[in-house]
Amino acid sequence: MKIYTIASLAWATFASAIPLSPQSANLQTTSAVDDTIFSSVSGLKFNIDGETKYFAGTNSYWIGFLTNNADIDLVMSHLKTSKLKVLRVWGFNDVTQTTSGVWFQSFVAGKTPQINTGRNGLQRLDYVVKSAEAHGVKLIVNFVNNWGDYGGMAAYNSFFGTSTSTWYTNAKVQAQYQAYIKAVVSRYSSSVAIFAWELANEPRCKGCATSVITDWATKTSTYIKSLDPNHMVTLGDEGFMNGGGDGSYPYTTAEGIDFEANLKIPTLDFGVFHLYPTQWGVPAPSWGSTWFSNHGAICAKLGKPCIAEEYGATSNKPAIEGPWQATALATEGIAGDMFWQWGDTLSTGRTHDDGYTVYYGNSDYDKIVKEHGVNILKAEGGAK
């Protein structure tokens, strides 16, 4: 999702960071691969911790930027209590100027790009992974943003003099992008907390041939698999289609995305799609339910599971999102759904309300999380 309203992160400064123990600084040593059960594809569903069934999850782009470990643990404990199995987080935080706050990669003019493995850098993501391991939560971690929030492709473009279209093919950009991927993947390649690696958040290449992103996704996913063959890989796109549906904008390749063509890439283990009717100018909720069904049909046809990875509404959330959840649960090919986004009350107070946020314990939570969870149990025959 493009984050239109971002709560201030001024409170999340390096000065307030809680130092990590040496053991948590690099989670490569937390588990032996031979003894690990990694999440995996199982037919048109996923096997997580030895169980194959439909799962519910959510998104928290901000959790890796927190500097209070207790806040991270609180969120993870609430996710566990809520039986939300998969959490999608930003694995990037790119800056273009010097800062004492949390940052993962810098693109400061006149300097060599730098990957921050310090206490206000990837060690913050280390603690997210460590806490996820402790609470049985699985993570989808992505590597770059299509949008300008937290740097993203725009930070690369500003530094290398590239554009939204040449980002995918420029050798220098891709070399730095792959260097960053290697830095992140190598830290967690043996962690059971990683559900999947994700190439980007909502990649687009407006006006480009769809082959641009398909070729880039093929090369990048192949590279990730060469670093870590044990974890799954997915694209992170919104699921725009090459025709079908009602012919509206999301069913065109105007943004350079062909959902079905990308899902055919052998080194992408599953597909994802998003849904924001207000931003896309389409009706809700009926249009959204059809969008879900159409994606499920493609996933089933190609024999790969898919996840409704982001979806949201800014008002009447249960009335709008409930039918989408029901459709996802009933549709062959869809193996899980993850609403945008999780909200909680941390040591600094309520956090990150972008209008779509569902806060732990509120009335929307009762419907979108708790009631949906009950429906999943019923659909799975009461399995625990």
| Catalytic site positions | 202, 310
CA 213 to chain centroid, in Å, comes to: 18
Lookup: tokens for 146: 């299509």
Per the CB < 8 A criterion, the answer to whether 193 and 132 are in contact is yes
Q: Which amino acid is at 61?
A: Y
Calculated CA dihedral for residues 134, 140, 142, 148, nearest 10 degrees: -100
Cis peptide before 341 (omega within 30 of 0): yes
Widest CA span in the chain: 60
Q: What are the b/e assignments for 37-63, b being 16+ CB within 10 Å?
A: ebbebeebbbebeeebbbbbbbbbbbb
Q: How far is residue 334 from each of residues 48, 129, 359, measured CA to CA in Å? A: 15, 26, 25
Helical segments of 189-285, H only:
210-227, 259-263, 277-280
Report the candidate in 239, 222, 204 with the shortest Cα–Cα distance to residue 311.
239
- Work out the number of other CB atoms within 10 angstroms of the CB of residue 323: 16
Report the candidate in 280, 325, 303 with the shortest Cα–Cα distance to residue 57.
325
Q: Residue 328's beta-bridge partner residues? A: none
Q: How far is residue 276 from each of residues 62, 121, 140, 162, 317, measured CA to CA in Å? A: 20, 31, 20, 29, 12
